[in-house]
Structure 1
Amino acid sequence: MKIFDAPRIRQADETTILRQGITSLELMERAANEAFLWIKQRFPDKETVFKIFCGRGNNGGDGLVIARKLHDDGYLVILRIVEGTGNPTPDFLANFEKLKQTGCEFNTGKHYNYKKHKLVAIDALFGTGLSRELSDEVKEVIDFINDKTAFVLSIDIPSGMFLDRPTYYAVHSDIVLTFQFPKLAFYLASNCEFTKEVVILDIGLDKEYTDVTPSNYYFTDKFDILKRYKPLHPHAHKGTQGHTLVIGGSYGKIGSVCLSAKAALKSGSGLVTAYIPECGYNVLQTAFPEAMVLTDGEKHIASIHFELEPKAIGVGMGIGQEPETQQAFGEFLKKQSNPLVIDADALNILSYNKEWLKLLPENSILTPHPKELERLMGGWKDDFEKLDKLKALSATYKLIIVAKDAKTMIVYGGSVYINSTGNAGLATGGSGDVLTGIITGLLAQSYNPVDAAIFGVFLHGLAADIGVKETSKQAFTASDIISYIGEAYLKIESEIHQK
């Protein structure tokens, strides 16, 4: 699903109005009605009280339509029109007149008693067009909304959030009901406090416009994933499913390679070999009998030589940073021509030897967490600069970068793919080792590198989404991710059968 910036969203609205022969007021009614229907389904109890805060622009107009529809449907609506939100737009004024005819009260000083958990605050102060800093008056209203006595819904975007620059002051939404397109700002790490959950509402904008208009940002939902998925062929065997080699481990860190190897096999790879130091031989052969094992060095890898010809190689998990290991990794890179998956200490070694980035085969996949990424490309002042630096690093060395975070982003050249699965249960040791194994296993199965990265991150997150329902987020472990990969595949295949 494409992610558009504010000018393209505005153009999508204008194109829809022109091609569908409707007015902007009718489009506002349509969009707000979708929000109303969702709200009614989510809060069916008519004892629910809605406090609706409207600005005087078109986002406030959406709020007025929602207020009118909730009032007409028998809910108690308390409406406040907030000053300091700009001059009223024509569509706002038109809906304000419609609302007055219903008898719905607004800006009232009456006191109401609410039943516990029956108060919902609807934020309709500002939309995607916000370009100025907030006034003190508006900040006071946002503070009032954020006091958390109510469940908070934002319409289209949390008020105060900017689409194209850092946000420092905004509504803390429990759910954002956004229209037609996801917004990049929702998924930036610095904005996590403003958007707990996002629901995308289809408001029927012109499909031809959305299909042909380019974007460099994408939200990888299940529909995108189904296009990338490679079902297992009925006549497949272990030789057709690819041979995965995982290289890593050192004394005390053999578990990381074991997790990667298991994940590669569970992702569908036909064969898996682990290349580890001798100290891990008995551990790996016992813990994971399905894997083959090659060894080098006693407590850490001192050289990397093998005669087998794997289809894909993942390297770095628990490998350590011993001088011998670093030298072995550098020599290994000089001999590679096929894309690699590079994680953990291999990334740290690259950060100490940045000239080795030129040795990486084109379309290699790097999987850094935030600190590893910072070591690789330096710091950033905000998430927008981070994205610019990620795209530059990817383009310079022709790499695919899986920037792991609460919302993982896959960067390839000038394009950014934001993953839609996963939860806080993944914040556990070994989770990244599992991800590396999954991506390497997919690469071995002839997924192209970009698809391996995008599909692998989605599968990893989906396994966690399924698993935490049984284990809880707190008790979820990296091994649990592996256990639920099968159910994640079944979920994806069930979506195919439903199409």
Structure 2
Amino acid sequence: MKILSAQQMRMADEATIKKQQITSLDLMERAATQIFNLIHSRLQGSQTLIHVFCGIGNNGGDGLVISRLLVEHGYNIKTYIVNFSDKRSKDFLVNYDRLKEVSKEWPTQLKSKEDVPNIKGEDMVIDAIFGIGLNRPIMPWVVLLIKHINSSRGFVLSVDIPSGLYADRAPDDPEGVIFSNVTVTFQFPKLAFFLPETGIYTQDLEVIDIGLDHEFLTTTRGIASLIGKRDVLPLYRSRHKYSHKGDYGHSVVIGGSYGKIGSVTLATKSALKTGAGLVTAYVPECGYAILQTNVPEAMVITDDDDELAEIDLDFKPDAIGIGIGLGTSEKTIKAFGEFLKKNTIPLVIDADAINILGKHPDFLSHLPEKSVLTPHPKELQRLIGEWENDYDKIEKTKVFSKQYKCIVVIKGANSKIIDEEQVYVNTSGNPGMATAGSGDVLTGMITGLMSQKYPPLHAAVFGVYLHGSAGDLAVQKTGFEAVLAGDICSHIGAAFLELFKTPNVEQQGQ
């Protein structure tokens, strides 16, 4: 699924109005009616008091349509106009008059902090104050209103986007944004819903189809792509009956040091479970018995006693994952630098290998094209420097990816896969995966996919999704707190099977 910018969404509205020969008022009625239908299906006539806060632009117009439909269906509502400006959009004014025609109680005008209404914890709030057109800081009294709504503990539904949140940049005041229980957004999700700094403002997301112009939507390239099961399923490569292990490649996992052999064990096992035909672990001597005992299916090559002093392969593998548990001693740094100079195979680079690149940026020029780097935020910072906000982080990562012709996986909730200008946002995974060794499993998975001749970008996108899916399956058995990296690894097979499961009717309605 695409993620469009605010400007692209406005263009989609314009194309729809022109192609379908409708008015903007018709489109507003269509979109707001869809939200009303969702609310009506959930509340089913409940007499919960519903507070509808409307701005004075088109988002407020949506709110007025919802208010009118709620009144017509007998709901108990109070409508408020948040007067932060003297200007009104034309469609707002038309819908304001339409609401007055059907409502016994006209909307309450809010003009200052003294007008803020009482909201009880058992009430519902519909937030239609600001939409994606917000482009300037909010007036102080409106910020106070937003804080009041947040502190009320009432259930909050936001129309299209939580008020105070920009679609394409960080908020001016983190406290001046509605915290929504659910955001019902039009046609496509916004990037803001999937970034650590801005995703916190909505607990649940509903995307509704409002019938925007199909041609425009299919021919417009979004600012990012949202990755779910339907997006990764076409990437899957099935196996034929007469295949053998040589058809699925030879992965090498390089890393480990004294006390950090567990990371290589996890990565090695994950590469095997993801389908690599052969996997070799290249570790210091101290890891030999551990690997041979815990992953008997793998081969093991050893180097120096407690850390790697030389990385020298006398064969050509199909994929290499490097850095997990590697350490950053001088001799290991030297070994890694020498290895980069002679290696031509695209790499999956993680952990200490990334830390070494951060300290020795001259090594970056030796990265094979389309290598995949999998940093967590601190490791990414060592590569690209500090960023102002999550949007800036993505832009700087794009620059880094272009400069070194590499793919960067920014690990975390909704991990981002960045290949130059392309941004992919993952949808699988859960907070239980924030545990030691989870990233080592991901490194092994991407390496295993690359050894099977998945192109590096496909391996990164597919691997990140499968990794999150395995975590989702694991957490169903353990709960968030008890998930271990080994649990994620042990559910890789189930994650593959999950790709081909069809949701039942009840699930599809959720």
Superposition TM-score tier, normalisation by shorter sequence: over 0.9
State whether structure 2 residue 491 is matched by structure 1 residue 484.
yes
Structure-2 change in CA distance of 1:218 and 1:304 (3 Å): same
Question: Post-superposition shift, 1:180?
Answer: 0.8
Question: Does the CA contact (< 8 Å) of 2:192 and 2:199 recur in 1?
Answer: no
Separation in 2 of the partners of 1:366 and 1:68?
Answer: 52
Structure-2 change in CA distance of 1:494 and 1:69 (3 Å): same
Question: Post-superposition shift, 1:86?
Answer: 5.4
Question: Is the partner of 2:156 in helix, strand or coil?
Answer: strand
Structure-2 change in CA distance of 1:442 and 1:121 (3 Å): same
Question: Does the CA contact (< 8 Å) of 2:354 and 2:375 recur in 1?
Answer: yes
In structure 1, what residue type is equivalent to 2:498? K
Separation in 2 of the partners of 1:438 and 1:90?
Answer: 54
1:147 — aligned with what? 151
Question: Post-superposition shift, 1:3?
Answer: 1.7
Write out aligned runs for 1:465-484 (5 A): 465-484=472-491
Question: Is the partner of 2:170 in helix, strand or coil?
Answer: coil
2:112 — aligned with what? none
Deviates more, 1:229-238 or 1:29-38: 229-238
Instruction: Provide Cα deviations, 1:114-170, integer angstroms capped at 9, x if missing partner.
Output: 7x7x43211100110111110122112101111142122111111111123321231
Which of 177, 184, 190 in structure 1 is aligned with 2:184? 177
Separation in 2 of the partners of 1:274 and 1:119?
Answer: 59
Separation in 1 of the partners of 2:31 and 2:65?
Answer: 9
Deviates more, 1:225-234 or 1:339-348: 225-234
Question: Does the CA contact (< 8 Å) of 1:71 and 1:104 recur in 2?
Answer: no
Separation in 2 of the partners of 1:457 and 1:148?
Answer: 38
Identity %: 49
2:32 — aligned with what? 32
Question: Post-superposition shift, 1:227?
Answer: 2.7
Question: Post-superposition shift, 1:438?
Answer: 0.9
TM-score (norm 1): 0.94
Separation in 2 of the partners of 1:418 and 1:397?
Answer: 21
1:73 — aligned with what? 73
Question: Post-superposition shift, 1:306?
Answer: 2.3
In structure 2, what residue type is equivalent to 1:442? L
Structure-2 change in CA distance of 1:104 and 1:203 (3 Å): farther
In structure 1, what residue type is equivalent to 2:149? I
Structure 2: segments with no counterpart, 5+ residues: 110-114
Write out aligned runs for 1:9-158 (5 A): 9-44=9-44, 46-85=46-85, 87-103=87-103, 105=105, 106-107=107-108, 118-158=122-162
Question: Does the CA contact (< 8 Å) of 2:15 and 2:213 recur in 1?
Answer: yes
In structure 2, what residue type is equivalent to 1:156? D
Structure-2 change in CA distance of 1:241 and 1:40 (3 Å): farther
2:350 — aligned with what? 343
Separation in 2 of the partners of 1:112 and 1:95?
Answer: 25
TM-score (norm 2): 0.92
Instruction: Provide Cα deviations, 1:43-76, integer angstroms capped at 9, x if missing partner.
Output: 4461433221111111011111222223333332
Question: Is the partner of 1:494 in helix, strand or coil?
Answer: coil
Question: Is the partner of 2:392 in helix, strand or coil?
Answer: helix
Instruction: Provide Cα deviations, 1:385-423, integer angstroms capped at 9, x if missing partner.
Output: 222211111001100000112221111111111111222
Structure-2 change in CA distance of 1:194 and 1:104 (3 Å): farther
Which of 455, 463, 470 in structure 2 is aligned with 1:448? 455
1:3 — aligned with what? 3
Structure-2 change in CA distance of 1:47 and 1:486 (3 Å): farther
Instruction: Provide Cα deviations, 1:407-452, integer angstroms capped at 9, x if missing partner.
Output: 2111111111111122211111111111111111111111101111
Structure 1: segments with no counterpart, 5+ residues: none
Separation in 2 of the partners of 1:389 and 1:301?
Answer: 32
Structure-2 change in CA distance of 1:84 and 1:112 (3 Å): closer
In structure 1, what residue type is equivalent to 2:162? P
Write out aligned runs for 1:338-417 (5 A): 338-417=345-424
Separation in 2 of the partners of 1:353 and 1:171?
Answer: 43
Separation in 1 of the partners of 2:281 and 2:86?
Answer: 63
2:219 — aligned with what? 212
In structure 1, what residue type is equivalent to 2:316? E
State whether structure 2 residue 167 is matched by structure 1 residue 163.
yes
Structure-2 change in CA distance of 1:19 and 1:250 (3 Å): same
2:309 — aligned with what? 302
State whether structure 2 residue 274 is matched by structure 1 residue 267.
yes
Question: Is the partner of 1:204 in helix, strand or coil?
Answer: coil
Separation in 2 of the partners of 1:41 and 1:281?
Answer: 61
1:247 — aligned with what? 254
Write out aligned runs for 1:261-340 (5 A): 261-340=268-347
- Across the aligned residues of Structure 1 and Structure 2, the Cα RMSD in angstroms comes to 2.2
Which of 171, 179, 188 in structure 1 is aligned with 2:195? 188
Deviates more, 1:64-73 or 1:102-111: 102-111
- Aligned positions, number: 497
Separation in 2 of the partners of 1:100 and 1:488?
Answer: 53
Question: Is the partner of 2:335 in helix, strand or coil?
Answer: helix
Separation in 2 of the partners of 1:215 and 1:202?
Answer: 17
Instruction: Provide Cα deviations, 1:217-238, integer angstroms capped at 9, x if missing partner.
Output: 2222333222322233343332
Structure-2 change in CA distance of 1:19 and 1:281 (3 Å): same
Question: Does the CA contact (< 8 Å) of 1:56 and 1:92 recur in 2?
Answer: yes
Separation in 1 of the partners of 2:385 and 2:391?
Answer: 14
In structure 1, what residue type is equivalent to 2:108? N
Separation in 2 of the partners of 1:42 and 1:255?
Answer: 48
Question: Post-superposition shift, 1:285?
Answer: 1.4
Separation in 2 of the partners of 1:288 and 1:41?
Answer: 52
Question: Post-superposition shift, 1:11?
Answer: 0.7
Question: Does the CA contact (< 8 Å) of 1:55 and 1:85 recur in 2?
Answer: no
